[in-house]
Structure 1
Amino acid sequence: MKMKNSPILLSILFTLLALVFPFIAGTIITIKNISSLSSIFLIQFISTAGGVLVTLWIMKKSKFSFHDFGFRRFKAGAWMAVIVFSELIAFFNGITEKDGFSAQYVFILLLFVIAVGLCEEFIFRGLIFKYLSAKGLKVAILGSSILFGIGHLANILSGADLLMTLLQIIYAILFGLVCAEIVAKTKSIIFPIVWHTMHDFIAFLTDSEPNVLAVSIYVFHCIVLIGLAIYFWRALFPKKAVMNLKNPESYV
């Protein structure tokens, strides 16, 4: 299957594809009037797992190989420790007691976040990033991160807290930016998948009720992401050497 559409059009279509699977799960949950979080996560897992399979099929049928999409090893860096540390800060907000915090709840939640991490990274840092790369690396990085943030606008329609949703959108854009930069730097999609899964797991596992501490943690995460974004951007796009006017053959 050769996709001859423009990279931008394809990226928009892939973004809509990412919204299809949570919409299907949400429709089933609403129609069946399901209230148990374990059951909700199970339905979302099944739907999202279907999204993973669909996305892998699109990748296989595309003009690119899985290696091109970032299915490869990468070298670890000190920046990974910064990311892990910043994610663990969320535990200061306490562990959630939803659904009695049973082993079944945690297991189903883990399945769900793994599926989400795979599906969304395959789409945004895999398909979208790769196709937008035809327009340039900067377009691929910025475009994929903006579309990732736009994809989270649906949370407002679901009735989620407005302040927390806006913070989530800002976080999503910054998260997408850093993940895209990591893909550009390492040529691998593996760490963004692991990071995405870890972040969602901790987010659902900890208390996310809107309060001063929860908002502060989100702000802290955003500050860390801004720092990482600047760090990776400078590494990917170093400033050109400025010619020394006194000696045209030398650069400073």
Structure 2
Amino acid sequence: MIKPNSRPNQSFSERKPVLTVVIIELLLLLAVVVAGAIATMKQLDYTAPVLISFSPIAIVLTIYLTVRRQWRETGFRSLRNIPTRDAKYYIPLLFVLGIITIKGFGELSLSKVSFFIFFTLLVAFVEETIYRGLIFKTLLRKSAVAAVMTSSILFSITHLLNALSGQSMTDTIMQLIYSLLLGAVLALLMLKNGNIVPLILFHFIHNLIQFLGNDLQDTGTLPYDLFILAVLIAYCAWLVWSHRMNASKPFKGRKQSNPIVR
């Protein structure tokens, strides 16, 4: 079999995977920082930096994936492509959603719900396409470990920018740990089935619940946060164990390649 590195007319991302990832991350950070500066100067709403930066990014991603015909290769596949035996690996995501729903919801209105549906869907599409799509796929050519760890770390680092919007350092550190573990879980699920759609749906619903939920700052959310972190650690361990068990099986009957790099 011809190895990817030996194919002629390789793309830039195939020849320089690490540099490609660095460029993608720097461009994303630059866009968010510039958008944050604009929002601060114009005293816009706290959602403005994301809207200003992510809206054009979403358009660029859509055009790129369409022109290059990369939708399927990036992981946009039917949910029916996920083997029935693998459905159990997504159940803990529902459990996490259930935990964050416990705090209930604040005062809702049609305009508020509609806005945050658009807002959280935008965030989910952009972040998942970049981190569990482009970055993950690019680094997977080097190794699965590099793809999972690097995409998760970069996903976590991006949330440092929340400190610029006035978020406390304690909340920022907790969010960094949370996003690192959650990023690892989503990357491991991407490694298992190569399907980004359930990850986008989870990310979307997760953020929507967070934005529409009650603000428990007065009573404290630490018990909830610590419990979810424990769940995510156990979830990561389960997915890693499952991947290693699958890799240790005899070649006969196993998939010949990772689903995302066909």
Q: Bin the TM-score by the shorter chain.
A: 0.7 to 0.9
Whether 2:10 is the aligned partner of 1:10: answer no
Report if the CA contact (8 A) 1:114-1:197 is conserved.
Answer: yes
Whether 2:57 is the aligned partner of 1:48: answer no
Whether 2:155 is the aligned partner of 1:148: answer yes
Separation of aligned partners in 2, 1:11 and 1:121: 14
Identify which of 161, 171, 178 aligns with 1:171. 178
- Cα offsets for 1:130-171 (capped at 9, x unmatched): 110111111111111111111111122332022111111101
Other structure's SS at 2:71 match: coil
Separation of aligned partners in 2, 1:152 and 1:115: 16
- Cα offsets for 1:225-247 (capped at 9, x unmatched): 11111111111122858xxxxxx
Report if the CA contact (8 A) 2:151-2:183 is conserved.
Answer: yes
Other structure's SS at 1:226 match: helix
Whether 2:84 is the aligned partner of 1:79: answer no
Q: CA deviation at 1:32?
A: 2.2
More displaced 10-residue stretch of structure 1: 48-57 or 14-23 = 14-23
Q: How does 1:76-115 map to 2 (within 5 A)?
A: 77-97=87-107, 101-115=108-122
Identify which of 106, 131, 137 aligns with 2:138. 131
Separation of aligned partners in 1, 2:64 and 2:151: 17
Equivalent residues, number: 233
Residue 61 and residue 140 in structure 1: after superposition, are their counterparts in 2 closer, same or farther (change >3 A)?
A: farther
More displaced 10-residue stretch of structure 1: 159-168 or 82-91 = 82-91
Structure 1: state its 5+ residue gaps.
242-252
Other structure's SS at 1:93 match: coil
Report if the CA contact (8 A) 1:179-1:192 is conserved.
Answer: yes
Separation of aligned partners in 1, 2:30 and 2:132: 18
Other structure's SS at 2:74 match: coil
Aligned amino acid, residue 48 of structure 1: F
Separation of aligned partners in 2, 1:78 and 1:169: 27
Q: How does 1:183-198 map to 2 (within 5 A)?
A: 183-198=190-205
Aligned amino acid, residue 67 of structure 1: R
Q: CA deviation at 1:212?
A: 5.4
More displaced 10-residue stretch of structure 1: 113-122 or 196-205 = 196-205
More displaced 10-residue stretch of structure 1: 227-236 or 79-88 = 79-88
Which residue does the alignment assign to 1:227?
234
More displaced 10-residue stretch of structure 1: 150-159 or 103-112 = 150-159
More displaced 10-residue stretch of structure 1: 66-75 or 126-135 = 66-75
Structure 2: state its 5+ residue gaps.
1-9, 250-262
Report if the CA contact (8 A) 2:89-2:239 is conserved.
Answer: no
Separation of aligned partners in 2, 1:214 and 1:178: 22
> CA RMSD for the aligned pairs?
2.5
TM normalised by structure 2 equals 0.79
Aligned amino acid, residue 182 of structure 2: F
